[in-house]
């Protein structure tokens, strides 16, 4: 009989790796670079912007968000 272990969490991945992997999958599915970047941004809580997001912009913002969360930068 199969038993689900609810005590262990899945291994953590950094937001950048996850964003890049999602971007690659979306591009492989046929989205153009701005569409894929904007969707990755949306999935990570970024607002839409005119012209869409580039993946480099999304990854940079996720990096800065993590620095703020860790208390490395901030007001």
> What confidence score (pLDDT) does residue 74 get?
83
Among 74, 75, 67, 72, smallest CA distance to 15 is for 67
The predicted-structure confidence for 1-55, as pLDDT tens digits, reads as follows: 334 343 433 344 455 469 999 999 999 999 999 999 999 999 999 999 999 999 9
Q: Are 51 and 15 in contact (CB under 8 A)?
A: no
Q: Report whether pLDDT(59) > 60.
A: yes
How far separated are the first and last CA of the chain, in Å rounded? 53
């Amino acid at each position: 009989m199969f038993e689900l272990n609810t005590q262990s969490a899945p291994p953590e991945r950094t937001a950048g790796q996850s964003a890049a992997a999602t971007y690659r999958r979306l591009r492989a599915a046929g989205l153009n670079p701005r569409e894929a970047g904007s969707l990755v941004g949306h999935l990570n809580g970024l607002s839409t912007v005119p012209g869409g997001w580039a993946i480099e912009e999304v990854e940079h913002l996720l990096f800065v968000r993590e620095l703020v969360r860790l208390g490395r930068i901030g007001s």
